[in-house]
Amino acid sequence: MLGSTLVYLGFFAAVGGVLLFVWPRRGRLSRRNSLLLLLTGLFVAALGIALPFGLTQPAGPPSELDRFVPAYQFSELHSIRVQASAARVYQAIKTVTAGEIALFQTLTSIRRLGRPGPESILHAPERQPLLEVATRTTFVLLAEHPGREVVIGTFVRAPSGWRRQDLMSPEAFLGVRSPGFAVACMNFVVRDAGGGESIVTTETRVHATDQASAWRFAVYWRVIYPGSALIRRMWLRAIAIRAENA
C-beta of residue 126 within 8 angstroms of C-beta of residue 97: yes
Condensed to tens digits (0 to 9), the pLDDT of residues 176-233 reads 888 999 999 999 999 999 999 999 999 999 999 999 999 999 999 999 999 999 999 9
Confidence of residue 24 (pLDDT cuts 50, 70, 90): confident
Nearest to 120 by CA among 103, 140, 100, 102: 140
Single-letter amino acid code for the residue at 126: E
pLDDT at 166 over 60: yes
Contact 125, 107 (CB under 8 A): no
Distance CA 236, CA 83 (A): 13
Structural domain spans, the chain:
2-50, 64-244
Residue 28: pLDDT band with limits 50, 70, 90: low
3-state secondary structure of 180: coil
pLDDT score of 26 more than 70: no
Say what the pLDDT of residue 243 is: 98
Q: Within 10 Å of residue 80's Cβ, how many Cβ atoms? A: 16
Backbone phi and psi for residue 73, each to the nearest 5 degrees, phi listed first: -100, -25
pLDDT at 111: 87
Q: Report the pLDDT value the prediction gives residue 219, as an integer from 0 to 100.
A: 94
64-244: CATH, from 3.30.2290, 1.20.1070, 3.30.530, 3.40.50: 3.30.530
Q: At what angle do helices 86-95 and 211-244 cross, to 10 degrees?
A: 120
Segment 142-169 shows an average pLDDT of 90
| pTM, full prediction | 0.92
**Residue 30 pLDDT grade (very low, low, confident, very high; cuts 50, 70, 90):** confident
- Please state the rounded mean pLDDT for residues 58-73: 90
- Please report, in angstroms and rounded to a whole number, the separation of the first and last CA atoms in the chain: 35
Q: Please, what is the Cα angle at 239 between 109 and 78, to 5 degrees?
A: 75
Per-residue b or e along 153-169, where b marks 16 or more CB atoms closer than 10 Å to that residue's CB: bbbbbbeeeeeeeebbe
The closest alpha carbon to 64, from 4, 135, 133, 153, belongs to 153
Round the average pLDDT of the chain to a whole number and report it. 92
pLDDT above 70 covers a percentage of the chain that reads: 98
* Nearby residues of 187 by Cβ (< 8 Å), 6 or more positions away: 63, 64, 65, 149, 150, 151, 152, 202, 203
Measured in residues, the chain has a length of 246
Is residue 68 a contact partner of residue 143, using CB atoms and an 8 Å limit?
Answer: yes
pLDDT in tens, 94-139: 999 999 999 999 999 998 888 888 899 999 999 999 999 999 999 9
